[in-house]
Amino acid sequence: MARLEGAVAVVTGAGRGIGRAIAEELGAGGAKVVVNYSRSKGPAQEVVESIKSNGGQKAVAIQADVADAEQAARLIEDTVNEFGRIDVLVNNAGINIDRTMKKLTPEEWDRVVQVDLNSCFYTVKAALPHFMEQQSGAIVNISSFVGQAGNLGQANYSAAKAGIIGFTKTAAIELARYNVTVNAVCPGFIETDMFSSVPEEVQEKILKRIPLRRIGKPEEVARAVRYLVVDGDYITGQTLNINGGIYM
C-alpha cells in the first residue's frame, strides 16, 4: 500500500487492548478508521476521540457483533457508505472462555469459535466484492501463539486461533489475483485486560517461560500490523509472531 494517508481501515473489537492500539496506530498514520465494537460504545468512542486528538483524519465508531454474519456484513456496508471504500480490514475481535476439556461445555466451545474464528470469514466475505472491484486491499487477522503451540485449558481458543492461520493462508491464495494481501499476526502474552485477569502467581510463571522476560505491549502488535499494511506489498499468507520468544 506504501502509505496509509487517506486509506479506510476497519478494526474489529477495537474498543480496548490490542484492537485499540491498532486503531490508534493506523489513525496516526493518516488512515480513516472504523472503530468497531459489539457492546461497549463508551470505550469505542474514546478511541475515536483519541485518534482525532492525535491528528487523525477521521474516525467513527460502528456497532456490530461480527460473530453474527448479518451484522458483520452491515459493518462493511456501513463503512463503505460512510467512506466510499474499504482498504484495510483487521480482524481482531475475540473472546476467551478458559476451561479444561473435562469442564468445557459445547456452548462455550461454540461461542469462542464463533467470535474468534467465524467472524473472520464473515467480514472477509462481506468485504471481498469491494476488494475485487478496487483490485487492492490488505487483510490482517489477529491469531495467537496459542493457536500454534496449544495451551492448557484453552482447547476452544487454540482451535479458533489455529483456524485463523489456516483461513489466512487459503484467503491469501484466493485473493492474490485481486492484489489483496492476507496475513496473520500471532501475539504472545500482551498487557491487556485479558492478561490482567490472570492470577499474579500464574503471571509470574508465564514470565519465566518468555525468553525476553517481559509481557508484550499492545503498541508492539499494532506496529506489526501497520508494517504488514504499509510495507507488506510482497508479503501474503504469512504469520508474524510477536511473542517475546515464547514460541519459536
**pLDDT tens column, 46-99:** 999 999 998 888 999 999 999 999 999 999 999 999 999 999 999 999 999 999
C-beta of residue 155 within 8 angstroms of C-beta of residue 207: no
Q: Which of 182, 191, 246 is nearest to 222 (CA)?
A: 191
Q: Please name the residues in contact with 203: beta carbons below 8 A apart, sequence gap of 6 or more.
A: 195, 215
Lookup: cell for 162: 489455529
C-beta of residue 187 within 8 angstroms of C-beta of residue 144: yes
The pLDDT value recorded for residue 2 is 61
The pLDDT value recorded for residue 57 is 81
Torsion of CA 141, 69, 67, 28, to 10 degrees: 40
Rounded-to-integer distance, Cα 224 and Cα 240, Å: 8
**pLDDT tens column, 4-40:** 999 999 999 999 999 999 999 999 999 999 999 999 9
Q: Per 3-state DSSP, what percentage of the chain is helix, strand, and coil (rounded to 5)?
A: 50, 15, 35
Lookup: cell for 31: 488512515
Q: Which of 201, 197, 171 is nearest to 184 (CA)?
A: 171
The percentage of residues in the chain with a pLDDT greater than 90, rounded to a whole number, is 93
Q: Which string of DSSP letters, residue by residue, matches 85-111?
A: ---EEEE-------B-TTT--HHHHHH
Residues in the chain: 248
Confidence of residue 199 (pLDDT cuts 50, 70, 90): confident
For the whole model, what pTM was predicted? 0.97
Please confirm, yes or no, whether 157 is among the known catalytic residues.
yes
The percentage of residues in the chain with a pLDDT greater than 70, rounded to a whole number, is 99
Q: Which of 225, 134, 239 is nearest to 179 (CA)?
A: 134
Q: Which of 155, 148, 35, 24 is nearest to 93 (CA)?
A: 35
**pLDDT tens column, 134-181:** 999 999 999 999 999 999 999 999 999 999 999 999 999 999 999 999
The pLDDT value recorded for residue 234 is 97
CATH of domain 8-239: 3.40.50.720
Confidence of residue 198 (pLDDT cuts 50, 70, 90): confident
The pLDDT value recorded for residue 23 is 98
Q: Which of 37, 122, 157, 227 is catalytic?
A: 157
